[in-house]
Amino acid sequence: MQIQDLLFSQGFGTRRVCAGLVQQGLVAVDGRRLTAAEEDFDPVGLRFVVQGVEWMYRERAYLMLHKPAGYECSQRPGAWPSVYTLLPGPLRQRAGTAAAGVQAIGRLDQDTTGLLLLSDDGLFIHRMSSPRHHVPKVYHIETSHRLDQSQLEALLSGVRLEREPKPVRAAACSQLGERAMSLTLTEGKYHQVKRMLAAVGNRVERLHRSRIGALELPPDLPPGQWRWLEPSDLLALRGV
């Protein structure tokens, strides 16, 4: 693959921009500065440096982000900044199969924190987000009022939500403290956790997603930081 096409696929700009980066000596492979935009490379596993930053070629992008509070999962945010501003430019511009750049898989409210997956692989996005696949998501919740056993039982048996034809149930539910609980859902309805807690007479004060399928949010990934998914992570997610 020509280096200008390789850079384009990874999100470094239009082909003309990528050719210019090479011609200006801003791209290096194996310590050698390139000047010919048409030079060919085997892209698999290729590591290169663009304007002093090291990158590795990836045919598709799969990553996790520790979403902090105060960010919207939208390309066109309203009152809050977009989570996409937490990612480097090339990830936001990649030429993927779903759309330009990586896309958040599902959304977390601006005040919700925790594990967010992003990708430019349309099939993977569908697999993770489609209600048909019932991918479990685990949330840690702090509530405004004291929890009791009747509330947990109601969440497990099913609660009625406005504009939902059938009761909505938690896949799992456990109390962690007087006003703290863990809730597992396999659906992705609008404001689902908050609406379910309201339906049993309580209120969400803090909401944090800790797991999607078999993938846990790593304890060493700080809020606002991202990392690539490892092959083992993808195997675990695709095995759901």
Two tokens, residue 203: 């209120």
Asked if 109 is an active-site residue, the reply is yes
Distance CA 136, CA 102 (A): 22
Within 39-191, residue ranges assigned H as helices are 89-93, 122-129, 149-157
Task: Enumerate long-range contacts of 11-20, CB under 8 Å, 24 or more apart.
Answer: 11/89, 11/90, 11/91, 11/92, 11/93, 11/94, 11/95, 11/101, 12/50, 12/90, 12/93, 13/93
DSSP 8-state assignment for residue 152: H
List, in order, residues 6 or more apart from 201 with CB less than 8 Å away: 145, 151
DSSP lists the bridge partners of residue 100 as 95
Distance CA 55, CA 48 (A): 5
Distance CA 6, CA 41 (A): 9
Give me the catalytic one of 5, 30, 42, 109: 109
Distance CA 227, CA 65 (A): 7
Distance CA 140, CA 67 (A): 14
Which run of H or E residues covers position 32? strand 32-33
Which residues are catalytic, by number?
109
